[in-house]
Structure 1
């Protein structure tokens, strides 16, 4: 750290002007300001370093963006007050990505930089060795890594990656395949060519699993510790910054992290891998609320870094990448999926009593599910029971087919102002555009009946314990999540996403209370349900080894058939086509603007958008949504902008200009802007 006293300040002989981006956090001040560089700081105040400058009478943090000989500012320039660190953490590539994210998601660069660069710790900088020269790798034909031999396109993808071609691929993990081991082997193959690999996963549990697999595949011991590092908030600020520096200085060749790791600048980038893009954890809860998948895609397009999107399922967003040719699919050989998948049995309505019980979310199991569980226990195999337990969320569903009730005008979710004991929903209106609905008719089956959907499940573990006396019943979820279970008779009751792996695979899986997931008031409810079902079913043994899965959803529904046939790709393609027909993401972009009614009215008056952009609302802010830090706002509202993809850049620029203009005026009410929020109804 370098400082200088005012009396001793002499301008630097070379490039005496520093263009600094202060971290002020307000839109109208999201720009560079020029400062004079003292000669005593000239060697350390390089582009990309952290500095302290005086702004409006107070010291603030900032980054040097550039050094120049002259300034366009006509007045006298203030001096740099301090160089916090000579470490050039804001690389040109990272700055370009930060600029892009701030523009696209209508945010400020200071907010993005707080996501991208961890806080500094001086001791960590001293403990990490200086950068080494670029590492050379092996030459010759690329060897197929373990677990990829049955994927013919894997060799071509690796050839492209190691040749510097900006290849982009999509991989759907086959059932029963250990995704962590497969990705670790792929990353090690790229590392051996002298390149760095960035692996991004949803949460700490996945970080631990993937990091262990990577360290094992590179040789374990000291080699594993030196070559593989993990980035996550759970390790503490000092350790996280030290590990981040090891990646930035090129010592760590394989980097595993959660969502903010997508910004990590690597001196020798070879491949970015993002696993399970459908997980809600990839949505940044802080401004400007970017989605990690989209940031990874933008980074790949910006600096030509190869990208692999892997998952057990397929989201419509990734299906759009494949459909448009932006990414190519890495498929296994024919017959691999059928050989590895368990046998899936979905519920049928042949027995009306059982159909009503399962659809209503009760915990009583139909005979076919009980038989599967008993047969698995008889061969000393554990049984997985997946039960969603998310509390109570009232929604409106069709009373006949239980499809979500939708608005005839914009396809938004219908909501009831109140529920009457005799007449049912009263004051029925759209949750997006606010249009009243006086004559509801289900678009799926034509029924006029409505019912309230309830998300939640009872004391499942206790009930199963009474059904299977003498069999151990364990739970996974909430405060206690199991990592793995032995190959012995047991019933594991798990919430979605908390399923432990089983040695040798589960003998059976029972996916209960399906309508609790399908009936959520969310555009992505069905997509999320299929993702959770496939994630659990993939832990079951192959059908040839007796693996069975029971799904308590109607066997005639497309999402049930996707699981029965183990075809998440086909479902995603159909879902993409359906969303395009009704104007839902990713066929279009949805921009949600939340805030007080007066602020939204002001924005709508000032906003000039093309005629192709549809303005929906304002309506009341949906239940469960909150404006962080703005507790004084009464009755917040929401406006949705439905934007064709080709116009997103223009609309983001226009909306950002309006936000900047409001920011420059005092006493303006705050608003929140989010691009493609995952919960829009």
Structure 2
């Protein structure tokens, strides 16, 4: 008999012994990588980690990284995602529970998206599972069972002629096609077909066999951009994701992206996490729109999510819009994203003629109809000329409703309800003959008396879209008046002469462009008690003005605001980059975002004070407040404190806040606190 091979004996000696046979009635664990690390759907901050479970042998093939599972957690069946499978656990195997079931073997959470979710949670001081709820949509079993579709072929590179008006536009497209990481802040020209330009950027990345993510504020923008992309890459090459699609249709589109069927995805804020394969370019349009900020914990902003993703994956990043935020200006000034801006010659050829008239300008309307409509003569003449030329006229009104806010005629104090102290207004259906009513409790106030000066006279603080449409209908007889806002938002209007009264963000696109735009009650936007009031007013004005025909074609924009103010000057000169630079410089001097990182802590006074007392602040940390929110005499008084740190210490601030929240949930503090980093609302 031959001698045994000594090398074979050595292999047997050092190999791991086979796992012991399971006890009677106990499941057998998978022979390889028997431990699954699971993100369990437990929203408590002190449970923000993975938990180890054994993989049953019968489920070995189905338990893949990223799939949905059900596990026993705190004696209850709970959903979770498999983060990874490993050979051993830090705990004793006998102490581990088995996975209860595999909800679906579909790997819905890719390692790239999981890493992004972890980075977003860390940046905003939140928990992983909260971000996963934003990133992964609910499952639809019927949709998952449908036959898979063949992936779309890579399209040909699009014609870059549309970007020729921008000196750096062609270079940006070349970098995308070559697969280089290129970042940019694009300021679109007025009247620009921006959906087509974004589609060309996305198609350029797709032609290089890379993915593209385009995030826009609302479903109307999704429809326009999706149509532009489909025109270049075909219907199978682009997927639209937005809440208005319905759960099943949205999940079908999301799955087609995850399975690599489509390379381009267009949608609203949750699309920032779309699982595109090999992302090549990430785009956010109009990053100043508040719809890009998620209202759910940990309250991430799309722009910052995409910046995190671009940094982690090496994808290009494009921040685009007609206006520019201070955050986008910071990207430009730090050199992270060079700007793509057209020259002044191109701008003069594309921009409408803009005129600013102060609220108390001496140029009042010269005829009774114009005076009734609150429109100065210059604006009235511009609208009449556009209508006579056969073009529609856009009228932007800051508020919807009829007369949504009233003040005392004498002292201008807000008119309040005697019963609940709510604001008084005239509802849309009431008409002028009806008394004002409370907007909180709906009680009528027929005998108003000012609590400040005793006057019984009221005046409109701001006129709503409904009342404005009514007045303009009387002033411009013979022309139809259409409204767009709230639940009646128009997507488009035809090229026929008409007056279109819209609230900010609800302006429909006119075929061929509007002949004129009247931006009424500018003071209502500029006088808001908000850090971003000037920036937001300019953004809304430019969004509306960009829909107007060029000045060389008779396009006029009249804004009712003081022409000496910086945002008004930026609109007149069409120079949002200058205004963004002024805003950023002012905020840097005063220590406001984005020059610093800031956190808001809101809740009952005792809970806020206790958290602040226990919080180990970074070296540059500074506490502002707390200050009461609402009525300080109310038994349910809440307070808010702000914490400010230098930008390099932003991650440290997020970490200490996350740890403090974990301590609170572990000891079961009864009072909830809302902790938000980089909040849009600071005042």
TM-score (norm 1): 0.85
* Map of 2:681 onto structure 1: 679
How far the C-alpha of 1:369 sits from its partner, in A, is 0.8
Match of 2:145 in 1: 126
Asked if the contact 2:155–2:203 (Cα under 8 Å) also holds between the matched residues in 1, the reply is no
Q: Distance in 1 between matches of 2:81 and 2:347?
A: 51
Asked if 1:94 is matched to 2:94, the reply is: no
**CA distance in 2 between partners of 1:6 and 1:32 (Å):** 29
Q: Is the 8 A contact 1:363 1:512 kept in 2?
A: no
Correspondence for 1:442: none
Residue 99 of structure 2: aligned partner: 80
1:212-361, aligned counterparts within 5 Å?
A: 212-218=227-233, 223-224=234-235, 226-348=236-358, 351-352=361-362, 354=364
Which residue in the other structure is 1:433 paired with? none
The whole-number CA distance in structure 1 between the counterparts of 2:480 and 2:149 is 54
Q: 2:496 aligns with which of 488, 493, 516?
A: 488
CA drift of 1:124 comes to 1.4
**Of 545, 549, 557, which aligns to 2:565?**
557
Between the aligned partners of 2:540 and 2:558, the Cα distance in structure 1 is 14
- Of 544, 549, 555, the residue aligned with 1:541 is 549
Give, in angstroms, the shift of residue 145 of structure 1.
2.5
Which residue does 2:464 correspond to in 1? 457
- Alpha-carbon contact 1:615-1:641 (below 8 Å) kept: yes
Shift of 1:420: 6.1
Pair 237,611 (structure 1): closer, same or farther in 2 beyond 3 Å? same
**Contact 2:363–2:377 (CA under 8 A) maintained in structure 1:** no
Secondary structure of the corresponding residue to residue 197 of structure 1 = strand
Q: What SS class does the counterpart of residue 127 from structure 1 fall into?
A: coil
Residues 150 and 352 of structure 1: is their aligned pair in 2 closer, same or farther, counting only changes over 3 Å?
closer
Q: How does 1:511-660 map to 2 (within 5 A)?
A: 511-621=519-629, 634-660=636-662
Q: 1:354 to 1:645 in 2, by over 3 A?
A: farther
Q: 1:487 to 1:571 in 2, by over 3 A?
A: same
Distance apart, 1:562 and its partner CA: 0.3
Tell me, in whole angstroms, the C-alpha distance in 2 between the residues paired with 1:273 and 1:526.
Answer: 25
- The equivalent residue for 1:662 is 664
Please say if 1:209 is aligned against 2:215: no
Q: Alignment partner for residue 78 of structure 2, among 40, 43, 60?
A: 60
Which deviates more from structure 2 when the two are superposed, residues 572-581 or residues 633-642? 633-642
Contact 1:105-1:288 at 8 Å conserved across structures = yes
Secondary structure of the structure 2 residue equivalent to 1:147:
helix
**Deviation of the 1:508 alpha carbon:** 0.9
Contact 2:178 2:208 in 1 (8 A): no
Residue 430 of structure 2 is matched in structure 1 by none
Aligned to 2:511: 503
Structure 1 residue 374: deviation in Å?
1.3
Partner of 2:29: 11
Deviation at 1:131, TM superposition (A): 7.7
Q: 1:362 to 1:189 in 2, by over 3 A?
A: farther
1:88–1:370: structure 2 CA closer, same or farther, 3 Å change rule? same
- Alpha-carbon distance, 1:422 to partner: 4.6
Partner of 1:406: none
Residue 334 of structure 1 and its aligned partner are, at CA, apart by: 4.2
1:44-80: CA deviation from partner (whole Å, max 9, x where unpaired):
2122111111112111011111111111113521111
Q: Deviations over 1:459-486 (max 9, x none)?
A: 1111111111112111111221222222
- Which one of the candidate residues 155, 174, 199 is aligned to 1:184? 199
Structure 2 Cα separation of the partners of residues 581 and 267 of structure 1 = 42
Show structure 2 runs of 5+ residues with no match.
1-21, 366-370, 413-449
CA drift of 1:423 comes to: 12
CA RMSD of aligned residues (A): 2.7
Larger-gyration structure (1/2): 2
